[in-house]
Amino acid sequence: MCGIVGYVGEKNCIPILINGLKRLEYRGYDSAGLGLIANGKSQVIKNKGKVSLLEEKVDKLNITATLGIGHTRWATHGAPNETNAHPHFNTSKNLFVIHNGIIENYQALREGLKKLGYKFITETDTEVLPHLIDSFLVKGHSLFRSVQLALGEVEGTYGIAVVYANEPNKVVAARKGSPLVLGIGENENFVASDVAAILAHTKQIVYIEDGEVIEIYKDHFIAKTILDKQVDKEIHEITMSLDEISKGGFPHFMLKEIMEQPESVCNSMRGRLLLEKGTSKLGGLESVVDQLVDTKRIIISACGTSWHAGLVGEYMFEQFARIPTEVEYASEFRYRNPIVGKDDTIFFISQSGETADTLAAMHEAKIRGALVLGICNVVGSSIARESIAGVYTHAGPEIGVASTKAFTSQLVVLALITLLIARRKDMSLVDGKTIVEELQKIPEKISTILKLNDQIEKIAEEFKDVKNFLYLGRGYNFPVALEGALKLKEISYIHAEGYPAAEMKHGPIALIDDNMPVVFIAPKDSTYEKIVSNIEEIKARNGRIIAIASENDDKIDSLVDYSIKIPDTIRMLMPLLTVIPLQLLAYHIAVKKGLNVDQPRNLAKSVTVE
């Protein structure tokens, strides 16, 4: 949550900061603000609402500055209004702080600072930071040292950037639990919570680690720990392009990312399939593959859409690798004293690689001696750096808040891991080759489904005004029902629930009437006849039925109101196909309701606070 960008150099930083905030707006869009230092003088401009409103406000002021910081907020403490917007400042209004994270002991710090005479004007936890830093500045410490000392008293998570009018040639940044990177330019340097914010200006990146404080000048930087130990940093070259984080002619990032899935799925498996051997090659797991094959139990820990991918992975691992598998919400994992040890392997799945709950669960698992592995999309992310080994999904940047291509890429990676383990155990060469061959066909089959976009849009028109939806599936497609319901909730604000189809009779059937649409995921597999029976039960109660069905299934048309026909594949890969129509359905319903699908209310892309 929240977007951070900062600049120190020789250019007018205001357009750089504004454009950076626009790139980061998917991380938070409740309010936005700038803190500027110009000719030794400080100025804060902030506004409730989107970055475009802040831009209009700044344009009217006709100011320039060569050093500044910017923030776009996702509210945690305090309402989303101008007062609570960042930056926050000290009493003299010459020191500004922007912050991503949560200061857990802010109330105690606040009371202590009040006793020192500091006055608070916001409802936020962040406001303690400028006052706390100021309390060390007044004792004669430098800005850098004051930040170190202040953070030594802070409990919680933070990615911060600080500027001070009395030291007008630097930005000080620090991180603990919230992502932050340093961008290296020529006579200019940057800091941001996401590479996307500064990609137009540099591809030279330094990853800031937990517990580090960075003093950033236009032509160099100094890195130390909070305890003042010098740190040597490595500069990385990133390969992401601006085209990858633009809409590319699509009306929304979400639609672009749905349509990119033939390519993103292909990228997730490129160079990793060995047809002749009927297996996969995953370089990121080579160092632990023997340990992985011999593991007694697998746990998959994730949140949201990644958790749904993990549920599909559970089916894969147990059916083919024959390893007992559990799927845990990362947000619950470390709070229930889990029984985890050295014989366990835990996969942590996160698109961003920065999900706070998932990172916290990972730290807990490492303490308990488990084999900790990561599955994530963002190269250099915290989960990628802190896991013992892992696999990148290579889905490419995902900007839309509602995850689409990340989900299917995660499914591909889970299938590749399944193949790798199973072929080293009991899976035959013939079965391995079948899975490889079917994986290779998936991108083309997704392309075929995407051609149904117009048909799905017409179905969306029929259902855009309903209040509730039910999604039902069996086996591998039960997690897809959950994911379809989540997509609809996230972007259309329609209440939706996903269930195993057989569980319908244990409660949800009471909701069925002629106003309740039910989506059945009903491909022709071993559960097909059971699903048809469930459809008949809904039909008997006048429910309105949409079916995701196999392209050669003529029987189902007479039982449902709408059928969306998709190609067949083997059961373990079917979720890669059945989820695509559900993504499009949610997208078109939200658009027809006039909603902002890329920035749904109350949500942010990267959940970096617990």
Active site residues: 2, 605
SS3 letters across 23-55? HHHHHCCCEEEEEEEECCEEEEEEEECCHHHHH
Q: What distance, in Å, lies between the first and last C-alpha atoms of the chain?
A: 10
Tell me which H or E stretch contains 402: none
User: How far is it, in rounded angstroms, from Cα 376 to Cα 380?
Assistant: 10
| Cα gap 49→508, rounded to integer Å | 39
Find, among 306, 582, 575, 587, the residue nearest to 470 by Cα.
582
Nearest alpha carbon to residue 368 among 306, 441, 469, 297: 297
What residue type is 438 in one-letter code?
A: E
Cβ-proximal residues to 337 (8 Å cutoff; 6+ apart), any chain = none
Q: Rounded to an integer, what distance in angstroms lies between the CA atom of residue 556 and that of residue 563?
A: 8
Length of the chain: 610
Q: What letter does residue 318 receive in the DSSP assignment?
A: I
User: What is the helix (H) or strand (E) element at residue 356, kind and residue range?
Assistant: helix 356-367
Strand-strand pairing, 279-280 and 273-274: antiparallel
Q: State the CB neighbour count (10 A cutoff) for residue 148.
A: 21
> What 3-state DSSP class applies to 206?
strand
DSSP designation for 106: H
CA torsion 71→74→75→79, rounded to 10°? 80
**Other CB atoms closer than 10 Å to residue 134's CB: what's the count?**
23
